[in-house]
Amino acid sequence: MKFVSYLYDGHDHLALMVDGLYYDMENLHPDIPNTMGLFLQYWDDAFPMAFGGELMVKEGRITDDKGNDPSVAELIAPVPFPSSFREAFSLPGKLPFFHFLNHHSIRGPGGLGCTSLQLAQLDFTPQVAVVISRHGRSIKAGQADDYIGGFMLLNSFTSQNVRREEVAFGAGPGKSKDFGTATGPWLVSADELVSVEVPNTEGRKGKCWDIQIHCRLNGEEIAMIRLTDMAHTFAELIELASDGVDLYPGDVIGCGSLGTPPMLRLNEARNGGNPSHTDQWLKDGDIVELEANGLGSLTSEVIAEEI
């Protein structure tokens, strides 16, 4: 299933996207929570009811007039108020670790306001994120996939000039990544991704999905990454994240960088030792689009803030 959150009368509402229309939860079943936060809290009860509602739409027992045109909905982050946000960092053969980032800065598609500090060397990191739908502690990798409510595209914007200062100080990401993380457009449940599930490599635990993310800047593709390049599976990340720690519905875990961030990589490729080269970074008015099989298209527009 594909879940969307949108704003109506100043409040977030949850809907299911079926055949191109958004169906509010109350039109699928009166007992389904109408916000993502509540839906995740009651996942084991709410998910089967939503699944039944989707089936009724496809069978025509819930008619098209109950659906809303997506063009009139103001999409927000699929999980508007996550309880936490971890971004993974892992290398083959090494224990993965996490950065805790600002979960209040998670947003949906649309404008990304940036100050002059952030715009000095603005880059982005395309990712896939999972959302936890069940409470758990010290979860084993063999059961961890059952704690994933869904998947979504995630674009973590980064101020590379600030990041270099943090690295020089020996610190993890702080101010360089706390201002803007785009997610969306949907939260996609695992049953929608069966067609892209692939066998795991030997020795790894959990499921693996061949999701390809195409990264475009102002309509031009500048990078393509694959989720199969993850050094550790989401199940293995969840096992580590929950080791002696409680995970809660609404926790977000990003897969982390699957290569050099696109703008940084472009500058390194174009420089080639040429001292006259001028680095290119994201600027006011740029449109960044991530598109992935099964997860849709997430578009962000860079907007300079006047402060």
- Two tokens, residue 18: 């079926």
Query: Among the three residues 75, 102, 133, which one is the final residue of a domain in this structure?
Result: 75
- Does 271 have pLDDT greater than 80? no
CA 98 to CA 32: how far, in whole Å?
33
Q: Which of 189, 110, 200 is nearest to 150 (CA)?
A: 189
Contacts of residue 115, defined as CB under 8 A and 6 or more positions apart, other chains included, come to 179, 305, 307
CATH number where 138 lies = 3.90.850.10
**Residue % of the chain over a pLDDT of 70:** 97
Angle formed at CA 150 by CA 145 and CA 156, multiple of 5 degrees: 110
Q: Clarify whether residues 19 and 106 are in a common domain.
A: no
Q: Clarify whether residues 67 and 200 are in a common domain.
A: no
Q: Clarify whether residues 26 and 111 are in a common domain.
A: no
Q: Which of 148, 104, 158 is nearest to 128 (CA)?
A: 148
How many structural domains comprise the chain? 2
Q: Clarify whether residues 229 and 182 are in a common domain.
A: yes
Q: Which domain holds residue 46?
A: 2-75
Tell me what pLDDT residue 72 has. Answer: 85
Q: Clarify whether residues 90 and 223 are in a common domain.
A: yes
* pLDDT tens-digit readout, 63-103: 999 999 998 889 999 999 999 999 998 877 788 889 899 99
Q: Clarify whether residues 286 and 169 are in a common domain.
A: yes
CA 90 to CA 255: how far, in whole Å?
9
* pLDDT tens-digit readout, 7-60: 988 899 999 999 999 999 999 999 999 999 999 999 999 999 999 999 999 999
Query: Among the three residues 53, 75, 97, which one is the final residue of a domain in this structure?
Result: 75
